[in-house]
């Protein structure tokens, strides 16, 4: 899971491919209602897919990142599994900037030498060979969003130490550069690691990395006592590559009222990416396999495995904006979009995107129909007695491009780098005061750290919602269907209902 930005890429030569699950025999039960489909999508089958992703990462330099052979192998596994289940698959290729850290270190040189745990931000420029050794300095305004925030501070050639918050990391990198800094360190404004992105390449950025809140406070305290000198060394590969999205859809169902599901297939380059986001990818893959056994659907269901999400939501942005440019009516034919990014977090919550803003005010526009999409999930969890909580409808994953263009959306989330509260621990178990996924964006995001109870709960919710909406989207856009395209929609009795196309 990653914050936002545009353009992408990556195709490649490949080594091995884990064996795909075979399609169920034609005599298999027809899971033709929401409860049956939820039962048919099993943890055991999802575990098979996740074991395959882990084996792929193990065979390909430990990761499945965009632009790598591990991503190509992951794509081949998804495609083979889908074809065995009766689907036709499509690859949509696009270009992106491959941004890979070769080596990095951040060390206090004086007054007391020590290593600092840090995470360079995506799209940060590298340092010169040998790194940057310089004194630390803090802006007069802690968040360092403008060059004027450094007024009265001797910044030239030094490394700025700034707080997360108020503005984007890219703005902090530009402000530090304009003020004369040689590099920047951003410390978190809450507990947990800081894994940030600059959203794209800009020659004006200074090299920039993230540290925890505690580390930031320790550096500031040391600076208050006297000069602190740090060496920051960041060596990178930055080059153009090509990658792809994978799209598949059911053969039955009206194609002018499509239900769409998506999960990003790539992981970060620092690990196998099994929770983030093998968990979402495997869950919708098994949902597709089981849905393929259904004889008849009213609405077509389209599945997407997005590429290069970790580099800035690039794959989903490419797909949506390609439609905006070349086939805008295709977006109006999407009744709603469901997003699944991390559904097996070790210290999990059962989170539903808060489209109705009952808990969190959304920092983005929420398209009409999104609240009703959210309710499909919450009604299911209420029905089975499963506690759930709202998570912010923030646009911080692959639904962003959809909602920017008026398509209703919702989704499920078990947590990333936020911290579990006492109330959440009482509801879901686990440990309060610990982040939801302590392995987020690290090499430890592997098969041994998946929470299978969370996978079970969330995959049931995914399957139930998928089948419910494949039968009818009447509550979302007023359309009832007999599965035949071109039939006039039967609007809801509420004459004021306009549907999401009116938003564009």
Which positions are catalytic? 309
Whether residue 374 contacts residue 367, with contact meaning beta carbons closer than 8 Å, is answered with no
CA distance 350 to 380: 12
CA distance 53 to 49: 6
* Alpha carbon separation from 111 to 49, 134, 135, 158, 232 (Å, rounded): 50, 13, 11, 16, 16
User: Nearest-CA neighbor of 81 among 342, 287, 252, 295?
Assistant: 287
* SS3 call for 397: coil
CA distance 318 to 8: 8
Could you identify the residue written with the tokens 């490649």? Answer: 12
Could you identify the residue written with the tokens 């940057």? Answer: 132
Q: Return the H-helix or E-strand segment holding 79.
A: helix 69-84
Q: What is the DSSP string of 87-128?
A: --EEEEEEEEEEEEEEEEEEEEEESS-EE---EEPBTPPPPP
> Which residues contact residue 215 at a Cβ distance below 8 angstroms, ignoring those fewer than 6 apart?
116, 117, 118, 187
CA distance 112 to 173: 27
Interhelix angle 43-59/452-471, rounded to 10 degrees, is: 110
> Which residues contact residue 241 at a Cβ distance below 8 angstroms, ignoring those fewer than 6 apart?
9, 10, 11, 12, 66, 67, 95, 96, 97, 98
CA distance 102 to 63: 14
- Residue 96's Cβ-count burial label (10 Å; 0-12, 13-18, 19+) is buried
Q: Which neighbouring-strand residues pair with 67?
A: none
Whether residue 403 contacts residue 323, with contact meaning beta carbons closer than 8 Å, is answered with no
- Residue 91's Cβ-count burial label (10 Å; 0-12, 13-18, 19+) is middle
């Amino acid at each position: 899971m990653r914050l936002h930005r545009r353009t992408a890429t990556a195709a490649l030569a490949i080594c091995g491919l884990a064996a795909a699950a075979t399609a169920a025999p034609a005599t298999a039960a027809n899971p033709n209602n929401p409860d049956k489909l939820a039962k048919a999508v099993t943890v055991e089958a999802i575990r098979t897919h996740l074991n395959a992703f882990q084996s792929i990462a193990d065979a390909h330099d430990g990761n499945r990142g965009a632009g790598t052979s591990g991503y190509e192998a992951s794509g081949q596994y998804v495609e083979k599994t889908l074809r065995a289940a009766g689907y036709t698959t499509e690859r949509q290729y696009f270009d992106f900037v491959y941004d890979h850290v070769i080596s990095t270190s951040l060390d206090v040189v004086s007054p007391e030498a020590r290593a600092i745990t840090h995470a360079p931000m995506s799209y940060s420029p590298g340092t010169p060979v040998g790194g940057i050794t310089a004194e630390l300095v803090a802006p007069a305004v802690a968040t360092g969003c403008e060059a004027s925030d450094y007024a009265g501070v001797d910044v030239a050639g030094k490394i700025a130490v700034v707080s997360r918050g108020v503005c984007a990391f890219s703005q902090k990198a530009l402000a530090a550069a304009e003020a004369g800094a040689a590099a920047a360190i951003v410390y978190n404004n809450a507990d947990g690691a800081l894994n940030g992105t600059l959203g794209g390449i800009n020659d004006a950025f200074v090299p920039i990395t993230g540290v925890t809140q505690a580390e930031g406070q320790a550096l500031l305290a040391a600076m208050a006592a006297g000069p602190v000198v740090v060496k920051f060394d960041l060596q990178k590969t930055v080059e153009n590559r090509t990658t792809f999205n994978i799209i598949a859809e059911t053969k039955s169902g009206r194609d002018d009222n499509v239900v769409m599901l998506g999960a990003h297939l790539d992981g970060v380059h620092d690990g196998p990416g099994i929770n983030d986001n093998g968990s979402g990818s495997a869950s919708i893959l098994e949902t597709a396999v089981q849905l393929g056994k259904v004889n008849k659907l009213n609405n077509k269901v389209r599945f997407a495995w997005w590429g290069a999400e970790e580099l800035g939501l690039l794959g989903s942005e490419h797909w949506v904006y390609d439609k905006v440019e070349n086939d805008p009516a295709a977006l109006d034919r999407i009744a709603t979009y469901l997003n699944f990014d991390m559904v097996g977090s070790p210290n999990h919550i059962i989170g539903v995107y808060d489209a109705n803003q009952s808990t969190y005010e959304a920092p983005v526009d929420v398209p009409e129909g999104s609240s009703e999409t959210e309710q499909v999930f919450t009604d299911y969890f209420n029905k089975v007695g499963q506690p759930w909580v709202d998570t912010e409808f923030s646009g911080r994953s692959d639904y962003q491009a959809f909602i920017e263009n008026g398509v209703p959306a919702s989704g499920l989330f078990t947590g990333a780098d936020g911290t579990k509260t006492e109330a959440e621990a009482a509801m879901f178990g686990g440990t309060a005061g610990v982040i939801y996924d302590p392995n987020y964006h690290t090499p430890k995001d592997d098969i041994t750290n998946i929470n299978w109870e969370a996978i079970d709960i969330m995959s049931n919710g995914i399957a139930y919602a998928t089948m419910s909406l494949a039968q009818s989207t009447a509550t979302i856009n007023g359309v009832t269907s007999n599965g035949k395209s071109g039939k006039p929609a039967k609007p809801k009795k509420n004459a004021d209902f306009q549907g999401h196309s009116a938003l564009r």
